[in-house]
Amino acid sequence: SSPFGELAEEFRSIRGQLLNNWLTPKQKTLAIVSPGSKEGRSYVAANLAMAFSQTGRSTLLIDANLRSPRQHEIFKTNSRIGLSMLLAGRVRIEDLDMLPDSISTFQNLTVLNCGAVPPNPAELLDNRRFDWIMRELRKFYDVIIIDSPPATYKADVMSIASVAGSALMVARSGYSKMD
């Protein structure tokens, strides 16, 4: 909401560090994780995705928090159909190009919402279909940012980070607790 503000500049700085030390043609998927809830994962994921899209890179933001999704609220997009439907096999991979919502104010940003919250998130994320979907998506995007659930849902986060190949840990000062 404030593209020239101090916080936007902080995200551009983080983007710069990631461009120099992380992003390669083979490594372009980053999971955003945190120890607990309300620590800023979705906020960081959304702002990093916006920052990458501003460089002209085609950027996909995936809301893989199948327990309490937020990206559809942040971007005010339709949340009914999304990742959960793909993982459950209710939407074909051939129809994938119709699923993500292009964000009109950011030319190179697309959001794949969670979709309907499923009763079995860990099982959906811990199958070969998720890995296959991500391999397909990597063919079409320069950067993929994945918003994950809190690490209290270890099985979900482990599956997401494993498929992503890398993760950025978000902690909230004076709030986050981690053993």
Q: What is the pLDDT of residue 15?
A: 95
3-state secondary structure of 140: coil
3-state secondary structure of 174: coil
Q: Is the pLDDT of residue 97 over 90?
A: no
DSSP type of residue 76: T
* Range name among 5-14, 33-42, 102-111, 158-167 with the lowest pLDDT average: 102-111
Spatial CB neighbours of 164, under 8 Å, sequence gap ≥ 6:
29, 30, 31, 134, 144, 146
Mean pLDDT taken over the chain: 90
Q: What is the pLDDT of residue 102?
A: 73
Q: Is the pLDDT of residue 1 over 80?
A: no
**To the nearest whole percent, how much of the chain has pLDDT over 70?**
93
CB 97 within 8 A of CB 58: no
CA-based end-to-end distance of the chain: 35
Q: What would the mean pLDDT of 11-37 be, rounded to a whole number? A: 93
Q: Is the pLDDT of residue 101 over 90?
A: no
Tell me the pTM. 0.92
Q: What would the mean pLDDT of 121-130 be, rounded to a whole number? A: 92
Q: What is the pLDDT of residue 98?
A: 65
Query: Greatest CA separation found in the chain?
Result: 45
Q: Is the pLDDT of residue 14 over 70?
A: yes
Express each pLDDT in 33-74 by its tens digit. 999 999 999 999 999 999 999 999 999 999 999 999 999 999
C-alpha–C-alpha distance, residues 165 and 25, integer Å: 13
Q: What is the pLDDT of residue 79?
A: 65
C-alpha–C-alpha distance, residues 42 and 49, integer Å: 10
Q: What would the mean pLDDT of 111-132 be, rounded to a whole number? A: 93
Q: What would the mean pLDDT of 120-138 be, rounded to a whole number? A: 92
Q: Which of 172, 168, 126 is nearest to 33 (CA)?
A: 168
* Range name among 12-21, 86-95, 166-175 with the lowest pLDDT average: 86-95
Overall residue count recorded for the chain in this entry: 179
C-alpha–C-alpha distance, residues 87 and 83, integer Å: 6
